[in-house]
Amino acid sequence: MSNQLAPGTGTPAEVAGNLRVALMRTVRRLKRETDGEHSVSVVAALASINSRGPLTLGELAEAEGVSRPSMTVLAAHLLDQNLVARELDENDGRLVRVRITPEGKRVLERSRTRRTAYLTKRLRALSAEELRALDQAATILLRLAEQGS
């Protein structure tokens, strides 16, 4: 497996191929930057709850792209570890939502800090020009991600 991307390309399809490879490798590496105690699934679920507020298990399953039964198992794990807590829906007392606890926020923040440190260490080896280019690319990638499908 080559570490090099196609040089001197520029068509949308060529750039898409290069980005796909670079992003997938980076995501795989970042996923390995865990505390060893909490899985990627746990951290991702905590991030969704933290950013979206209390969610039903169905909403959380949809946000994470997993089945409801899989989310039920994960949610039980999160509850057992006191990373989330159950609460009744304000508008419909039949609905139960999960919200992040202070311990869940601590786990999430430690994960983010660890992954940011990993990237920071690698970015320090880049030239100012390369760092500027990545900063601009990050802005563009976020804009693309927010456009959805």
pLDDT digits (tens, 9 = 90+) for 14-70: 999 999 999 999 999 988 887 778 888 999 999 999 999 899 999 999 999 999 999
Query: Count of alpha carbons within 13 Å of 15, Cβ hemisphere only?
Result: 5
Ramachandran region, residue 26 (left: φ > 0; alpha: ψ -120 to 50; beta: rest) = alpha
Q: How far apart are CA 19 and CA 5, in angstroms?
A: 9
So what's the pLDDT on residue 10?
Answer: 82
pLDDT digits (tens, 9 = 90+) for 109-125: 999 999 999 999 999 99
The domain of 65 spans 12-146
Q: How far apart are CA 94 and CA 47, in angstroms?
A: 25
- Count of domains observed in the chain: 1
32 belongs to a structural domain: yes
115 belongs to a structural domain: yes
- Where residue 81 sits, what CATH number does that domain have? 1.10.10.10
Please choose, from the candidates 97, 87, 108, 96, the residue with its C-alpha nearest in 3D space to the C-alpha of residue 45: 108
1 belongs to a structural domain: no
The verdict on pTM exceeding 0.85 is: no
